[in-house]
Amino acid sequence: MKKLWMAVSIGSLLTVGAFAETLTGTISDASCGAKHEGAAAADAACVQRCLKRGNPAVLVTGGKVYQIAADSREKVVPLAGQKVTINGKLDGDTVTVNTIEAAK
Inter-residue contact 57 to 27 (CB < 8 Å): yes
What does the alpha-carbon distance between residue 31 and residue 49 come to, in Å, rounded to a whole number? Answer: 11
What does the alpha-carbon distance between residue 68 and residue 13 come to, in Å, rounded to a whole number? Answer: 23
pLDDT in tens, the chain (104 residues): 555 454 444 554 444 445 689 999 999 999 998 887 877 888 899 999 999 999 999 999 988 999 999 999 999 999 999 999 999 999 999 999 999 999 88
Predicted local distance difference test score (pLDDT) of residue 2: 56
- 80: CB partners within 8 A, 6+ apart: 27, 29, 44, 47, 48, 51, 57
Predicted local distance difference test score (pLDDT) of residue 40: 83
Predicted local distance difference test score (pLDDT) of residue 1: 57
Inter-residue contact 89 to 21 (CB < 8 Å): yes
